[in-house]
Amino acid sequence: MYISKLSIRNFRNFSNASLDFNKGVNTIIGENGSGKTNLFHAIRIMIDESMPRITKLFETDFNRSIGEWKGHWIIIQLEFQELDSSEEAQSIAMHKIGAADDFDSTKGTYSLYFRPRIDFRRSLFELSEDEDKTDDELEKILTGISLNDYETVFAGRGNIDFSIDDNYLKYVGDFESITFPDPDEEKTDVYGVKMYGISIPNEFACTFAKALRDVESDLRSYRDNPLLNLLRDNEKNISVAKKAEIEGQVEVLNNNISGLDEVKGVSTGITQTIKEAVGETYAPNVNIKSELPSDMEKLLQSLKLWVGDPDEEGHEGRLWELSLGGANLIYLSLKLLEFEKVKKENKIANFILIEEPEAHIHTHIQKTLFQKLDKQKTQVFISTHSTHISSVSAISSMNILGRGKQKAEIYNPSKNLDGGDIVKLERYLDTNRTNLLFAKGVILVEGDAEHILIPELVKKVLGVSLDELGISIINIGSTGFENVAQLFHEERVQRNCSILTDNDLSIVELPDSLIGDSDYEKSCRQSEISGKARKQKLDAYCKGNKYLRPFYAKHTFEVDFLLANNSFEIIATVNKAYKQVADKKRIKKLIEDKDVAISGKEVLRLAEKFGKGWFAIMVSENIDNITIIPKYILKAISFACPSFNTNTLFSIAKYRLKKLETRHFDGDDTDYKKLLSELISFDNQIEAIEFYKKQLPEDVLTKLIHLAYA
């Protein structure tokens, strides 16, 4: 038995979420604030025996996107598969799959409804039946509802996924059209059957290891201490004779300590002082006694972990002497061992939930820990924002959470991909590349030069990093764009992905006839033919997919960078790389030639000579705020990050003006200091940005804004 699906409606930052799970290990990845903790809390409400059975929810538990919460429902639903024949499992089974008498007893659902009590739901239904119903009458009913008028109901065997909007509108209510269902119609096939007499969480073995844990504090806790839970379980196995012997020894020890002359002396002194102060009549009798616990369970509580560093054999110390990583590793190990001990054969399902295991744990341990977690007959859920863990996880068992406006966005990166494509992706997504799963936008490139130079262009020209813009740039190398780009799709990861590649148009004019081509012309012609074929294929692949868009250099990255009026950066690179003045002059003349057949050929020769990646590093050292970002790259950045927040744009504007004060094009007499002063004088940042665009219509920031909001 395992959880195959989780649906959430209106709970915290989940408006209408649906996540699919597999047997074994399931990974939930996402940036901070994307809802990983809220998702785990929703699951634990349903399956964790340690959670309060009377689930009390509050106004703040309603998703903000619904506006006024009154009258709305919070719904959490679990779908199970491979149910056994036990009474407990079958209480949630009989999942309808067809005609009235057609059921599948191996599937089931278990739901929580936090909803207004039936008298309010009746009032809403009666209003919806009134032909003269008005919004004011609806508002009057809703205003009278408080949290005290809500009930929490657990039900099994329901057959409707309420994360689907049409189902919610039909079976909960449409507040816009004032249409509500009759609560007195018992639709057990929709809402399920209320659970009476069986507590489903009691039938599960569930262990939860929280993130950001205070290990030392948890190991002192009476309730949450995994070490104590393990010892409690073993305490039952200690023989009666052994218990009596140990408890008797503690009694003797207590008497010996209490009988020490030093202890008796203090006791006598206290008694004498009190009598002298208040007299014999009112003075209480005082004695000092040792109270080491003699009860076996309390004795076990006194046991503490002593630990040693693997690099210091023979030394042991207290837990707090370890690094945070070491302490967290021990804590996780205890939780896993606790789970193995608690897991019983008579439990109908076993679950482990581990929240952000990467907290303070070394990267090698993260990956090893994850790979060791595939427990038989146990379903594991791990939440993470670690690329190390996501790089060794299977995307077929992965859900991605993204931060949307007032609600989480849910993506399943393997949805509707065939097995071969999934295998290719999993092989490709190593630690450096899985950051594309966390990004707000992605740029795919196929060479080291673009991968090195584009981030430097953005940082030095705009004053922000691609990371600050939420963009991941990924070098696909020889993998092929399609193998990675298939992730970005309406059915999978709904994030914009720009594909940057070369069109490879020849930099020399080619005659119509191939006869008589020089070796260089043959090479240029072949590159142009390959470039046209690649463009046709890529354009066809991206067509109809709003999350994918290709952008092409007319010739190649190096040539188009030069043609964007960046000869200064190339020449500065040459001046540092070459020692002979004659070489510097010769190359400078070639680079500054207006004929691309000459200048383009020379920049390609330099890239080939030093190696494209290394040449890009050399050029990056000479980029500054007036370097020109080629238009096709600017378009790719704009598409990958379709909306720039106002704070970011204002920050870029200030950076640009500060830099332009001291470094601008020859002949530019703009008073940038004055512009900066005027810009920061605006109380409204939007007005400040409009001012910037008006004053500098040809500036790179203005062009970027126009591209983003075109």
In tens, the pLDDT along 266-291 reads 878 777 877 777 777 766 777 777 77
DSSP 8-state secondary structure symbol assigned to residue 77: E
User: pTM score > 0.85 for this model?
Assistant: no
Question: Could you tell me the pLDDT band of residue 303, with boundaries at 50, 70 and 90?
Answer: low
CA atoms within 13 A on the CB side of 379: 22
Span 175-188, pLDDT tens digits: 999 999 999 997 88
User: What are the backbone angles phi and psi of residue 582, rounded to the nearest 5°?
Assistant: -60, -40
670-704: per-residue pLDDT in tens?
A: 999 999 999 999 999 999 999 999 999 999 999 99
- pLDDT single digits (tens) 46-76: 999 888 877 889 999 999 999 999 999 999 9
pLDDT of residue 239: 62
CA 709/CA 704 separation, integer angstroms: 9
- Give the tens place of pLDDT for each residue, 327-382: 666 666 666 666 666 555 567 888 988 888 775 455 555 556 656 555 567 888 98
Residue 207 confidence (pLDDT): 82
- Higher-scoring residue by pLDDT: 84, 674: 674
Please check the confidence at residue 406 and state whether its pLDDT lies above 90.
no
Report whether 80 contacts 5 (CB < 8 A): no
pLDDT higher for 590 or 234? 590
Strand partners, 150: 116
**Domain coordinates in residue numbering, the chain:** 54-198, 238-324, 439-629, 643-710
Q: Is the pLDDT of residue 159 over 60?
A: yes
Please provide residue 544's backbone torsions phi and psi, each rounded to the nearest 5 degrees.
Answer: 85, -5
In whole numbers, what is the pLDDT of the chain averaged over residues? Answer: 86
pLDDT of residue 288: 77
- In whole angstroms, what separates CA 517 from the centre of its chain? 55
Residue 613 pLDDT > 60: yes
Cα of 366 vs its chain's centroid, Å: 16
Q: Tell me, what amino acid is at 342?
A: V
More confident residue, 383 or 388: 383
pLDDT for 98 equals: 47
For the cut 80, the answer to whether the pLDDT of residue 649 exceeds it is: yes
Cβ pair 431, 388 in contact under 8 A:
yes
What confidence category does residue 99 fall into, taking pLDDT thresholds of 50, 70 and 90?
very low
Q: For the residues 654-668, what does the mean pLDDT come to? A: 95
Q: Quick one: what percent of the chain has pLDDT higher than 90?
A: 55
* Residue-level pLDDT at 93: 75
CA separation, residue 198 to residues 75, 88, 272, 335 (Å):
20, 7, 62, 27
Token pair listed for 141:
């009913």
pLDDT mean over 169-198: 91
Confidence of residue 100 (pLDDT cuts 50, 70, 90): very low
pLDDT tens sequence across 495-504: 999 999 999 9
Longest dimension (CA), the chain: 128
Mean pLDDT of 445-464: 96
Q: Is the pLDDT of residue 600 over 90?
A: yes
Neighbouring C-alpha atoms within 13 Å toward the C-beta of 188: 10
Q: What counts of helices (H) and strands (E) characterise the chain?
A: 28, 20
Element (H, E) at 502: strand 496-502
